[in-house]
Amino acid sequence: MRTKISIIRFAFILAAAFLSGSVFPSGSSFAGQVHVIQLNDDTINPVTADYISKSIDRAETENAECLVIELDTPGGLLTSTRTIVKAMMASRVPVVVYIYPGGSHAGSAGVFITYASHVAAMAPSTNIGAAHPVDIGGGQKKQRNVWDTLKDVVNEEKKKKEKTPTAVKEKEEEDPLSSKVLNDTVAFIKAMAKERGRNMEWAEESVTKSVSITEQEALSKRVVEVIAKNEEDLLAQLDGRVVKVSGSNKTLKTKDADVRRIAMNGRQKFLNTLANPNVAYLFFILGFYGLLYEVTHAGAGLPGVVGTIFIILALFSMQLLPTNYAGLALIILAIVLFIAEAKIAGFGLLALGGIVCMILGSLMLFDSTVPMMRVSLSLVLSLTLTTAAITIFLVRLVILSHNKKIVSGKEGLIGEIGHADTNLLPEKEGKVFVHGELWNATASEHIRKDEKVTVVKAEGLTLTVKKV
């Protein structure tokens, strides 16, 4: 009995020592978990914002040492960026943004996310910058039209072929709305820079002049604090670093920490796939194909159901993207022109108009200068020509089948040639032999027996005929 009491007393003493820090003092090397999430060439959208926010909540719940965000992004939506920044600034767990692997880029929205982190790190051969509000899906200087979008695409293709550095941005006409957005964005990033002790001047230049720098320049300019070759090197350099979290200092113990990777759940992966402009565009066109087949082949059922699902998914995707509904209207107009070409002898002019409308509408469908936030030009051209061909072919096939002469039933007798089996008078019913059968017949004129007749009408079992 005394032995049991001693064991219980020892357990209480050990627990009290542990809670007071005497067993594992604050200066010891004991480390907990480090949570790691990845944004690998992903745009910043509502789904990635949800992923990061929930990962921060999970790291707080599980008392992780820190949350490492391995970042590689061309940019995204300003509203989603603000959601991420709010979650990071309010986090009770240190958030480390690591621009990784080599060749990665934290562009536009990525700059804001990096500046909001407690510790910013970059891998060799990476770069950061170009945080102008145009590049993050909001606050354009002026309403972009189809020619602006077409010009962006042409310039982008030209730069790819010439393999030249990013061209100097042309001066745009200022307006009050763009100035307000720009000033707000500058204030937004400067506030983060001040809170995290980073370079405010460079942050402002990144927004106003779209400057971009390498990892060595970022380190020398106090944009980031660490350059790490890989994840192990990063954790080794983070170990012992003191960061300010929720108003108090915390010493990171990451050297021997258990690394736990937190991937997107199934729902987030699916929605993130839908947030791709190419996927949204492809689903919209496939949905149209399904509905078109259902209309032209009544009773098929499955193509109509599948097409409706694709259309709904495409419309949902467009809610996650900076959709320009004028572009969507042009695509619908193009489809109408394709159908009109099949019904009317337009000599190809309607089809040509449809092709032009669809190409222009597709290019301006998603209003962003970030290439990943627009539909691929090759996909636009291939689907436009395919849609034109399929629509015109199917609609014309239906029209031809409707105009084809009926060869069965009573309607199939119209226009058939036979002969009178009896004399036919206007006031008297007689008999005719048509299509190998004997029929009751009437006529509005006198027809003698054995004269050739043609059927003009069929009502019940009586035919109306006339002389050939």
Q: 458: how many CB neighbours lie within 10 A of its CB?
A: 18
- Could you tell me if residue 22 is inside a domain? no
325-381 tens-digit pLDDT? 888 899 899 888 877 776 776 567 888 888 888 888 888 888 776 667 788 888 888
Cα of first residue to Cα of last residue in the chain, in angstroms, is 124
193-203 tens-digit pLDDT? 999 999 999 99
Of 267, 293, 313, which marks where a domain is finished? Answer: 267
In the three-class reduction of DSSP (H, G, I as helix; E, B as strand; rest coil), residue 260 is classed as: strand
- pLDDT, greater one: 26 or 56: 56
In the three-class reduction of DSSP (H, G, I as helix; E, B as strand; rest coil), residue 360 is classed as: helix
Q: What is the DSSP letter of 460?
A: T
- Could you tell me if residue 205 is inside a domain? yes
Residues β-bridged to residue 127: 105, 214
- Region 299-328: mean pLDDT is 86
249: left (phi over 0), alpha (psi -120 to 50) or beta: beta
Per residue, the 3-state secondary structure of 47-68, as one string, reads HHHHHHHHHHHHHHHCCCCEEE
Cα-Cα-Cα-Cα torsion 381, 383, 389, 395, nearest 10 degrees, comes to: -140
Based on the fold, state whether residues 378 and 458 are members of the same structural domain. no
Main-chain dihedrals φ then ψ at residue 352, nearest 5 degrees: -65, -40
Domain with 434, as residue range(s), is 410-467
Per-residue pLDDT at 336 = 85
Based on the fold, state whether residues 209 and 281 are members of the same structural domain. no
Nearest to 306 by CA among 321, 293, 319, 323: 293
Based on the fold, state whether residues 384 and 240 are members of the same structural domain. no
Based on the fold, state whether residues 78 and 204 are members of the same structural domain. yes
Based on the fold, state whether residues 98 and 194 are members of the same structural domain. yes
pLDDT exceeds cutoff 50 at 22: no
- Could you tell me if residue 436 is inside a domain? yes
- Catalytic sites, residue numbers: 108, 180
- Could you tell me if residue 240 is inside a domain? yes
Nearest to 351 by CA among 343, 310, 38, 92: 343
Burial-class residue 24 by CB neighbours within 10 Å (0-12, 13-18, 19+): exposed
What size, in residues, is the chain? Answer: 468
Per-residue pLDDT at 345 = 60
- pLDDT, greater one: 70 or 434: 70
Tell whether omega for the bond before 101 is within 30 degrees of 0, i.e. cis. yes
Based on the fold, state whether residues 81 and 100 are members of the same structural domain. yes
Q: How far apart are CA 182 and CA 190, in angstroms?
A: 12
**Residue 416 pLDDT level (bands cut at 50, 70, 90):** confident
Place of tokens 């990777």: 261
- Could you tell me if residue 313 is inside a domain? yes
Contact 138, 109 (CB under 8 A): no
Contact 75, 109 (CB under 8 A): yes
Tokens at residue 409, please? 């039933």
Query: What does the mean pLDDT of the chain come to?
Result: 80
Based on the fold, state whether residues 287 and 324 are members of the same structural domain. yes
Based on the fold, state whether residues 228 and 148 are members of the same structural domain. yes
- Could you tell me if residue 394 is inside a domain? yes
Contact 338, 388 (CB under 8 A): yes
Tell me the whole-structure pTM to 2 decimals: 0.67
Based on the fold, state whether residues 382 and 442 are members of the same structural domain. no
- Region 187-191: mean pLDDT is 92
Contact 84, 113 (CB under 8 A): yes
Nearest to 228 by CA among 109, 96, 118, 30: 96
- Could you tell me if residue 377 is inside a domain? yes
Q: Which residues contact 422 (CB under 8 A, 6 or more apart)?
A: 430, 431, 449
Based on the fold, state whether residues 396 and 417 are members of the same structural domain. no
Supply the CATH number for residue 426's domain.
2.40.50.140
Q: Residue 181: which H helix or E strand, with range?
A: helix 176-196
Of 358, 381, 403, which marks where a domain is finished? Answer: 403
Mode of pairing for the β-strands spanning 437-443 and 462-467: parallel
Q: How far apart are CA 364 and CA 312, in angstroms?
A: 20
* Number of compact structural domains in the chain: 3
**Residue 137 pLDDT level (bands cut at 50, 70, 90):** very low
pLDDT exceeds cutoff 90 at 424: no
pLDDT exceeds cutoff 70 at 190: yes
400-411 tens-digit pLDDT? 555 555 444 556
pLDDT exceeds cutoff 60 at 4: no
Of 384, 403, 422, which marks where a domain is finished? Answer: 403
Nearest to 321 by CA among 286, 359, 361, 279: 279
- pLDDT, greater one: 71 or 32: 71
Nearest to 93 by CA among 69, 123, 124: 69
Supply the CATH number for residue 104's domain.
3.90.226.10
Based on the fold, state whether residues 383 and 441 are members of the same structural domain. no
Q: For the chain, state the CA radius of gyration.
A: 36
- Could you tell me if residue 120 is inside a domain? yes
Based on the fold, state whether residues 146 and 250 are members of the same structural domain. yes
Alpha helices in 71-173 (DSSP H): 78-89, 109-116, 146-162
